[in-house]
Amino acid sequence: MAEYTAKRLMAAIPTLILTSIIVFLLMRLLPGDVVTAMLADTGAVTEEQREELRSELGLERPYPVQYVAWLGGFVTGDLGTSTYTGEPIIESLKRTVPVTLQLAVVAIVISVSVGIPLGLVSAIFRNSPWDNALRAFSILGLSAPPFWTGTMAITFIAIWFQWVPPTGRRLFFTDPLDTLAQLALPAALVGYSLMAVIIRMTRSSVLEIMREDYVRTARAKGLRPTHIWIKHVLRVALLPVITVIGGQVLAMLSGTVIIETIFGLPGLGRLTLDAITFRDYPLVQSIVLIFAVLVVVMNMIIDLSYAWIDPRIRYS
């Protein structure tokens, strides 16, 4: 297991380097630059002033020099300074990452704890009204855009019925219950699409496992249906479900940009949107590379979890 993990970590290094190169070049190929964004409200500006500001920001250096300097700082933990706000990037991340992390954790917990049981129910009562309702529910989750679901939820659930606080955020350790109440609605919206995928994948995987010979044997032995569903069917059916969860987590995190904006949450999604708007090169590059690291780690955790779910799987 340790040797396999080490090989996966080594194989991830070229992926991360390629990702860093792509995002570095894409940010510089976009129209406009950070100098134009910073001087937009200052009126008439001479070309000398523009060049002086570019020199202060280090943008006059060749691209390879800028890239090596940025990547070297990232590896050593020095993410640099935001070219737009002048604030150290690490401070911006300390302020925003906990918000997005709390939102993502609650969203994943809601999606998994609700999606897997509903998928199992849909498979057990196949072609019944319950199955049809759950399939329609999952299709809506896959097709409804986050900005629409977020707007409808904050209008009806938060404002009209006042079941949850509409916007804002408090520190978790200051008031955990109030924080969870505020995160419940945005987290449910962020995880809705993931929940829909989990329901559909659990249903199809369970229906496939039900046709296996060992399930028929368990039924012939007279085992309780609950025992068969939970131990013999659901456990094996979770393998493809976990694979899908690992692939959908990043897509779910991308939806936090819209949800955080709608609900006024000062998280990483809003920070990314602002950084792209103002062409904040170092901040965007750092955020994207952090997301890439999270994807690599998530995929590794998913792969290693296979052996825990199915003891027949061994890594060598």
Q: How far is CA 31 from CA 28, 50, 58, 59, 312, in A?
A: 8, 16, 19, 15, 53
What CA–CA distance (Å, rounded) separates 166 from 183?
A: 10
Residue 68 is assigned to a structural domain of this protein: no
Q: What's the distance, CA 303 to chain centroid?
A: 18
Report the 10 Å Cβ neighbour count for 149: 21
pLDDT at 161 over 70: no
Q: How far is it, in rounded angstroms, from Cα 141 to Cα 107?
A: 14
C-alpha torsion sign, points 231, 234, 236, 242: negative
Q: 126 is in which domain, residue-wise?
A: 89-277
Query: Computed from CA positions of residues 28, 30, 31, 32, in that sequence, does the dihedral angle turn out positive or negative?
Result: negative
Mean pLDDT over 247-274 rounds to: 79
Strands (E) in 109-235, as ranges, are: none
- Which tens digit of pLDDT belongs to each residue from 270-314? 888 888 887 788 888 888 888 888 888 877 887 777 777 666 666
Average pLDDT of the chain to the nearest whole number: 79
- The average pLDDT across 162-172 equals 54
- Residue 15 domain-assigned? no
**Stretch 221-225: mean pLDDT:** 82
CATH for 151: 1.10.3720.10
pTM of the entire structure? 0.76
Distance, in Å, from the CA atom of 287 to the CA atom of 250, rounded to the nearest integer, reads 13
User: Does the residue 152 lie in any domain?
Assistant: yes
Q: What is the count of structural domains for the chain?
A: 1
Residue 200 lies in a domain: yes
Q: Which residues of 62-84 are buried (b: 16+ CB within 10 A; e: fewer)?
A: eeeebbeebbeebeeeebbbbbb
For the chain, the distance separating the N- and C-terminal CA atoms, rounded to the nearest angstrom, is 6
167 pLDDT higher than 60: no
**Has residue 269 been placed in a domain?**
yes
pLDDT of residue 312: 66
Please tell me the predicted confidence (pLDDT) of residue 133: 93
Q: What is the pLDDT of residues 28-51, one digit of tens each?
A: 787 766 776 666 666 666 777 777
Structural domain includes residue 211: yes
Q: What is the pLDDT of residue 118?
A: 93
Q: How many H helices and E strands in the chain?
A: 15, 0
**CA atoms in the 13 A half-sphere facing the CB of 100:** 27
Answer yes or no: is pLDDT of 173 > 50.
no
The answer to whether the beta carbons of residues 168 and 182 sit under 8 Å apart is yes
For residue 202, pLDDT over 80 is answered with yes
> Is the distance from CB of 197 to CB of 248 less than 8 angstroms?
yes
19 found inside a domain: no
The contacts of residue 143 (CB under 8 Å, 6+ apart) are none
In a domain, residue 59? The reply is: no
